[in-house]
Structure formats: C-alpha cells, structure tokens
Chain A
Amino acid sequence: MENSNHIIAVAQILAAKQSLPGALLPVLHDVQDTLGFIPSEAVPLIARALNLSRAEVHGVITYYHYFRQVPPGRHVLRVCQAEACQAVGSDALAKHAQATLACDFHATSEDGAVTLEPVYCLGHCAVGPNIQIDETTLHARVTPEKFDQVLAELRSKP
C-alpha cells in the first residue's frame, strides 16, 4: 500500500518537473520533500522518465549528502560541525547530542524521535554553536543545557 502511494507521488512529481532542463535534482528534492526520503522504487521511474540509467540516478542520490534513502525520524536535527562553530564549542555539543540521543551522526534515536546529522555550516557563524531542526527552525549559541531544553520540547511534539 505504502509502495503504491510512493509510486503515485513520484509519478505526479515527474509529470510536473520532468521537462525542466537538468530536471534530476528538482525531481529528487520534490520526492524527498513529499515522502521524507527517496524510496528505492522511485529510482526506475525517475530513470525512465528522464532517459537515464538507474545507475545514474542512484549515483546522484548517493553523491549528495542531503538526499536520504531511508525514512528519517520524526524530526531531523542538524548540528553544525564547521570551523566557526568549532571555535565556540561545537565538538562538545556534538558529543553531548550523541550521548543524549544515544546514537551517532547519520542515525536515529531509538524512540524514533530524532535523526541526528552533522552539517557543515548553516550561515549563522557569528552566534554558534548552531543547530537546525526540520529545515527551518534554528537555534543559536546552543549550550548542552539549551540543547536539552530544545530536545525536551521536540520530544513532546508529535
């Protein structure tokens, strides 16, 4: 059932975007925005519509850090690991996040609430360490204590 829903969603996206010049990235973004990830059954559909091999589509999905092939947790939490945040303690924050969520980067906490990702710069370099939740929610100057507060709020949300 889920499988056929995915196929319908991908077909709709292809119908809307496949004629764009260089359509592959816009299509993949729409698929991930709609489904939360890029399911394997989408690959042959996209390949056929864009006149590419499945290997080419797979190659693009796996090349870019942003695309994911498995569903994420209910929330995606990105911790900046780049130099400007390093200068104000992002290494310690990352360790704290991993210990608190009991998972590494690129993994999901056991309760399925949070997928933890590293990110290399969010562009808020004057007020680090920075984290981003589900794309648009941002927090600056994140101490371990502030991280715990944010996480508690996040876990209380569905």
Chain B
Amino acid sequence: MTTTIYIPCDSTAQALGAEAVAASFASAIAQRQLDVTLVRNGSRGLFWLEPMIEVATPAGRVAYGPVTVKDVASLLQADVLNGGAHPLCLGKVEEIPYLKRQQRISLKRVGVTDPLSVEDYLAHGGTRGLRRALTLTPLEIVKEVTDSGLRGRGGAAFPTGIKWNTVLHASGEQKYIVCNADEGDSGTFSDRMQMEGDPFGLIEGMVIAGLAVGATQGYIYVRSEYPHAIAALNAAVIKATQHGWLGDSLLGSGKQFHLEVRKAAGAYVCGEETALLESLEGRRGIVRAKPPLPAITGLFGKPTVINNVITLGSVPDILANGAAAYQAFGCGRSRGTLPFQLAGNIKYGGLVEVPFGLTLRELLYDFGGGSLSGRPLRAVQVGGPLGAYVPESQFDTVLDYEAFAAVGAVLGHGGIVAFDDTVDMMKQARYAMAFCAIESCGKCTPCRIGSTRGVEVIDRLAAGNPGQTALLRELCDTMQNGSLCAMGSMTPYPVLSALNHFPEDFSRRTQ
C-alpha cells in the first residue's frame, strides 16, 4: 500500500530548511524503492516544530519535528512510514494541544491539503460555498454575510455585509472585487499562510463576493515580499479557471468572474485601501480623501469591494455552513474566529485561530509559552506597527475589538509581537516615528512632517531634555486628529502607549 508523507512547502518552513528535508526524503525514497507519495502541504503554523513532517497512517496523520536532513535516515530506520516511535515523534497531529485547542475556519485546510490539489480541495469542503451561492440571489448572499457578523480582518473591522450591500446597490456597469493582500504589518503572516497554503479558498471567497455584488473582475494585490504566495496564487488561478471555478461560466451557471494577481512594490502605505487602488491603477500609492468611499467610487472610479485575505477566505465557510454557525463563535460584537499570529520573542510562535474571547495572557502563555529568551515578557505590540504596546498589567484584556479599543489599543490584523524585559521602549517609540517617516505617502502634512519631527523630538528627549515630552504629546495629538489615513493617525498608538506605560524608559535619560 502506498504511504503518504507530507512535508510543508510553506515559506517559513522553507526558511527553516524544509526544501533540503524534502529533497533528502525524495532521494531516500527513490534509492530504497519505497512505495511512498510525497505531498507538499501548507504549514499547520506550529513554527517551532518546522520543518514538521506528517505520515498518513490508518489511525490518522502522525507528526515528526523539527526534522533536519540529518534525521532522515534514522526516521526511515524507525519505521516512520508506519508511524514508528522516534525521539522527534509528536504523536497524532490533531492531538497536539496547540492545534487541538484551536477553532480553524478560515484556515481550516492550511497545512492539511496540497495547496494546489483540486482533489484535496474538493475532499475538504472546497466549492460548497460557491455552489450554494450560485443558488441564491445577490441580496441573499449579502444577507448571509451580514448575519454572520463577519468584520474586516485587515484591521479596521468594518462589517463586511454592510460594505457588500453598499456595492450591491451602487449603480455601475462594471464593479470590482479587490483583495488586499498587502500584509505589511510586522508580526502578521495569516494572509501569507492562506495564500500559500489554501489559495483556492481565497479565490472561492472572491468569486462569491463577485456574485453577491455583481462584479465580474477581481484583483489580488499581493506584496512583493511574498514571492511564494504570488506563485501559489498564479498557479491556483490557472487551475481554478480549468475547473470552471473562474471564467466565463462559473460551474456552468453562465455567470462570470475573472481574476488577476498583481504584485505590489514594497510600499507599506499601499495596505491602506485607497492607496492600494491608486497603485493598482498604475500610480504612486498616494492616499485618496474619503468620501467618496471605494464602495461607490473605487478602482478605475467604479464601485469596488476591498477586503482583506482572511475576510474573503472566511466567506466560503459562511456560505457553506450558514451564517448562524459562524455567528455562534466569538463574543460581544466580535463574531467568528480570528487567526492570531504569535511572533517576536515568544517560545511557541505560530498561528492560533480561535474564537474572539480569550485573553491576551492566555494566548501569550497557554499557547505561546512565554518568551523565547526565558526572561519576563515586558511589552507586547498588538496589531502591527500602528498598534499600541500593551504592558503586563493589561494582559488580561479580552481579545475582542471593543475590549481592546477600551484600553486604547487595537487588535488590527491579529499580529502579536512579544518583547522581553531587555526592550528599550523609547527606542521602539522612535522606531514607530521613523517607520512612519519612511513609509508616509506624503500627501498630508501631519504624517509627512510630523513623523520626522517626532524622531527629532524623541532624539532630544534621549539627549536629556525632559520638556520635550509635552511637545511629543502635542505632536501625537496633531497626527492623530489631522492625518488623512491610519498611517499618520495611528502612529501615535505605539508612541503614546510606550510613553504612558513605560515612562521610566523615557525619564531614565533625562534625569
């Protein structure tokens, strides 16, 4: 009987040596003439165990990791093909507590399937959502998404159904679906994992969005830092077209949807939706004033849905299993699940998709296992470079959009970057301003000039001028209230949270 071995092709697994491990297994299999199929799956997101290989046994998939090239011979000796015992054996993969405690919805196929296998996709629920959507009216699809309570997973958390409804009712012969895959926040990688590990899921979500609002053309705008994701998406678009999931007649229905993958060019601000549209239109990624909203006047001036990868990736499941099933997860007004990403100085970094409602502390310690260095965790930046630094005293905050807003922080795209007690918070505040200065599009003054002045003010603080604190607060106030988009208006989040929660790092130098 043919045995199947899974070795991840995910780019983080590759960074940890998965390609060499796969090559080593392939040559050992050929040499020993073993009856083995080698499948390159996505990653389960347990990155401290990557490269993590899995072997399909009658009792389920058994995992081994982290595997190096040196382990391949001893693994084969230990009868790994039958799930044999070995020091690297992790047992049945679904029983690993880190995975078992998760609720995977948007990323349920990631790490399980071969990302580009049509058979795998169908065997794991693929196209069920699309098939149901084809039996519904546009209004019914929009209602389903509205009822699910899904909010934008890019960070702004705007209700997806309301956005879709606006585009549905906007008049225009041509409408567009744009996927924002410009995942620039440090500490985030869920979009990347979805695109590399289950590109068909994203495509299906975009097709359903097209059916819902009457759009026939979609674009996925992917950052240039993600070449593996771009390759996976391009390959998936070709296969999806061959199978009638894209093209002139979706599954023979006569309805059409076309999709193109576009590569970004390294501008962080292009993750802002109007800057992204400018970039797609072939211009510098300069933020547009709103209104008009992209839903009314979007790409090429036409009504446009812009959603994040995870938002769109959640849609097929909502259509397949119904709004109520998705809505049943979560807490307060934050419904469903969010794929959190544990990063930075953390022992067990990786992807944790759970319903809203855990506390930050549970995520950091029960999942993350505390710091990688073994030192106490001192500050945690949640929600990317524009997110606040959360001190230990706020670790019990519940992970939902409103609870985080109440403590002056943001959940954003769910990225969580941990720092131990060696961190210099004044340096982090300076970095936030410096990053804004590098990445500002330059359209509005508070962001363009304010960020540069911010670096200078913090440098003067560091040089021992305590009077500069008041100036820094005033500058942050101007940026927060006067900037055109989140780039300038949210840079004060990391700066002020550092100043408010860690004043000792600022005063040490000024005494």
Contact = CB atoms under 8 A, between A and B. Distances in A.
Contacts of A123: 11-12, 183, 188-189, 192, 225-226
A88 B189 contact: no
Size category, B interface = 35 or more
Given A121-B225, A126-B341, A126-B350, A64 B187 contact: no
A88 B344 contact: yes
A140 B280 CA distance: 31
Given A22-B280, A63-B267, A83 B15 contact: no
A120 B186 contact: yes
A65 interface: yes
Nearest to B344: A87
Given A88-B344, A126-B342, A140 B15 contact: yes
A138 interface: yes
B225 A87 contact: no
Contact of B15 (A64, A66, A121, A127): A127
B423 interface: yes
B283 A64 contact: no
Nearest to A119: B225
A120 B437 CA distance: 13
A28 interface: yes
B263 A139 contact: no
Contact of B431 (A25, A63, A86, A88): A86
A24 B283 contact: yes
Interface string B202-235: 0000000000000000000000111110000000
B294 to A, nearest CB: 15
A122 B225 contact: yes
Interface stretch (B114-122, B403-411, B413-421, B457-465): B413-421
Contacts of A26: 262-263
Interface in A43-95: 50, 56, 59-60, 63-67, 82-88
Given A83-B431, A87-B417, A50 B282 contact: yes
B281 interface: yes
Interface string B329-357: 00000000000011111100110000000
A127 B47 contact: yes
Interface stretch (A7-15, A107-115, A128-136): A128-136
A29 interface: yes
A23 interface: yes
B279 interface: yes
Contacts of A28: 265
B12 A82 contact: no
A84 B343 contact: yes
A58 to B, nearest CB: 10
Contact of A59 (B188, B192, B284, B428): B284
B14 interface: yes
25 contacts: A21-B300, A22-B282, A24-B283, A25-B279, A26-B262, A29-B263, A56-B283, A63-B267, A65-B267, A87-B343, A87-B417, A88-B345, A120-B385, A120-B439, A121-B184, A121-B187, A125-B186, A125-B349, A126-B349, A127-B15, A127-B47, A130-B15, A136-B227, A140-B15, A141-B16
Interface of B: 11-12, 14-16, 47-48, 50, 183-189, 192, 224-228, 262-268, 279-285, 300, 341-346, 349-350, 372, 381, 385, 415, 417-420, 423, 428, 431, 435, 438-439
3 closest A-B pairs by beta carbon, nearest first, are A126-B349, A82-B186, A24-B282
